[in-house]
Amino acid sequence: MVGASRRSRRRRLIACAVVVTAVVAGGWPAPASPASDAVAMEGFRPQLVTVSTPTRADKDRLVALGLDLTEHAGHDYVEVVLHRAADELALAGAGFDWQVRIPDLVQRESDVNAANRAYAASTAVSPLPSGRDSYRSLAGYHADMDRLAAEHPGLVRTFALPRKSIEGKTVYAVEIAHDVDAPEDGRPVFLMMGLHHAREWPSGEHAIEFAFDLVRGYGSDDRITSLLKKARVIVVPVVNVDGFEKSFNDGQLVDLRGIDEGGTGSILATPGNAYKRKNCRMADGLAPFANECALASSPGGFGAGVDLNRNYGGFWGGPGAAAEPVQATYRGAAPFSEPETQNIRELISGRQVTGLITNHTFSNLVLRPNGVAPDTTGPDGLPLGDPPDEAAMKELGDRMAAQNGYTSQHSWQLYDTTGTTEDWSYNATGGYGYTFEIGPDEFHPPFPEVVDEYLGAGEYAGKGNREAFLLALENAVDPAAHSVITGKAPAGATLRLKKTFATPTWSGAVADTLDTTMTVGASGGYTWHVNPSTRPVVKARQIRVVGSEPLKRQTYTGTTLPAQPMEREFTVDRAADLLEVRLDWPTPDDLDLYVLRKNADGTLTEVGRSTGSVGEKERVLLDSPALGDYVLRVENWASATPSWELTASLYDATTEEVGGLVENWTLSCERNGKVLQQVPVVVDRGQRVKADLKTCAQKWSQS
């Protein structure tokens, strides 16, 4: 499935790059007409490519092109969907190298459809909790949620989120808990979401299968029964109802079988909206005309809409979120400009969500905040640093990844993102939030892969995302991972926790309010599981300051002829926080840098590389380098005057604490909407505090 090499692909197309100078320099061209799209498609098929991005600067340049980036990325690559020939030329014009991984996404969609038909025909009941053997449509999700509620009264209820979609559709959720219809009783809430991005079908499947799993296990599985007595679980399987409906419907229509093989005639020349990413906002502030979103002329529908996972308020408008509507990661006209993100905001703001997972595809990753590298200067002029709960969030992320074989890492290690679900939810509420990137290869693979990812396969059989989700739910109910307020109050009283504050965006702030309630039980005693009173975004944070003087520095010079790598050795002979290797040369040519560690048996292991484009100087930075000998390799890719200077330096770094506020909840005791008492409550993560509501009890007895 792999086409031309990165280097040859770039060189072959570089002569054509002049065609797209306006694209690179001045933004994306206006959407083509359907007729011109058809002409362009004759010699080009939508494809998935792996773009070489060895440095963070490369990733930033790639993001700036406005192409359709996936969530499949590593330290030196990002996978990108090329919808038309102009996308390919834009990569070449910007000097990128790439490999083609799926050369024809239309054919691939057809192949997946055929595989899904075969699986459904041969499978009466799948191993999934629901027994499902094929992807659900939007109506299928709604029917399954209704069925769960109808068949399990007292355990399951469905409800509509408050905002209708751009096209006027209702977004539904399902809540699962012991005595689910009882008034809010202080239990923590765990939230599971799917399908922020329309084409990522497994993300919705795993969300609703977890709902089926909990329902099926209640009363028969001690672990699940205990969890549903301690927590309320809310599942929103389809956040982006408009976009998903377009993606799913068009995806089913891709059928390249010949008529003599039983073809139906439902054959698309392009995948239509099957690979649509965003919602159906066609123009900022306006609802679309009838069928406008379904007939979007941008290739694959990817250019139309707002990327919902860049539209949340936290750090909105920062790195990794596009400002232009035609770009794949368009952030929207303002924070929370879209009804879909408003739905999730109001859902989280009205409950004590102590843990959440938002599912996506693909990359086999468990991602945690923050979305921007810790040394990035934030809106306050200081480095963002790591989240204050980094150690605990990493520990949980690692445990979950051990169940499914995924990689546990920061979100920014893919590439910078801002305005994401956890950027806002974690920093506004303190509830732990994670993104799961489900599956290794593609947006919506054959359905048997959905089964394997959920239940685990191979060495992960019996674990998979099912077990990872259960670990996340267990963490959400663990008082050590959130906070608890206890006390006595009149039976039947409404207790309200509220806080109003400004959530920082990248260039300003957005007003936020957290407002949650519970009802005091007949005993008069209450226990309320809540998030900490101080938001992570204003807590003291740790930043790393690199020493100005190196512990050790060594400089080398040399010349490297084409195809004749030159190597130098450097020894890390003392403990250090950082090893920095810089490669410089006096001409605007192209040299590459590789750093390798010598093993005890004499073999070499690559530990870092920097292979930027022409004129970009190379730099490798290694954290806490192991003691031993290193080989620094210089390769001449395209240098006419191959003289260079290489500098290796060891540094110490210090950790400093910056910022730091203490916030409080305002706890109110109310009767029939009348406030009888208000007290401030300060509570940190893992703490349990008592709130004195004696005044409320006195006024209650007098009223």
Instruction: For residues 320-343, give the mean pLDDT.
Output: 93
Residue 226 has a pLDDT of: 98
Residue 541 has a pLDDT of: 67
Average pLDDT, the chain: 87
Residue 399: exposure state from Cβ atoms within 10 A (0-12, 13-18, ≥19):
middle
More confident residue, 546 or 361: 361
Residue 163: pLDDT over 60: yes
Residue 527: pLDDT over 80: yes
What is the tens place of the pLDDT at every residue in 362-393?
889 999 998 988 888 888 787 888 899 999 99
Among 580, 610, 543, which Cα is nearest to 56's? 610
Residue 588 has a pLDDT of: 66
Q: Is 120 helix (H, G, I), strand (E, B) or coil?
A: helix
Instruction: Catalogue the active-site residues.
Output: 437
More confident residue, 215 or 624: 215
Residue 330 has a pLDDT of: 92
Residue 544 has a pLDDT of: 63
Residue 37 has a pLDDT of: 42
- What distances in angstroms separate CA 52 from CA 154, 265, 452, 653, one per listed residue? 53, 39, 30, 30
HSE at residue 401, side-chain half, CA atoms within 13 A, is: 21
- Nearest 5 degrees, angle CA 557-CA 558-CA 559? 150
The band of 327, judged by pLDDT with boundaries at 50, 70 and 90, is confident
What is the tens place of the pLDDT at every residue in 17-74?
323 323 333 333 333 333 334 434 456 888 999 999 988 788 888 888 888 888 777 7
More confident residue, 639 or 395: 395
What is the tens place of the pLDDT at every residue in 164-183?
999 999 999 999 999 999 99
The region of weakest confidence among 39-48, 122-131, 236-245 is 39-48
Residue 546: pLDDT over 90: no
Task: Tell me the backbone φ, ψ of residue 617, rounded to 5 degrees.
Answer: -75, 150
Residue 32 has a pLDDT of: 36
- Whole-structure pTM value: 0.78
What is the tens place of the pLDDT at every residue in 272-291?
888 899 999 999 999 899 88
Residue 638 has a pLDDT of: 66
Compute CA 74 distance to the chain's CA centroid, rounded to the nearest angstrom.
14
Residue 326 has a pLDDT of: 81
Residue 34 has a pLDDT of: 36
More confident residue, 590 or 142: 142
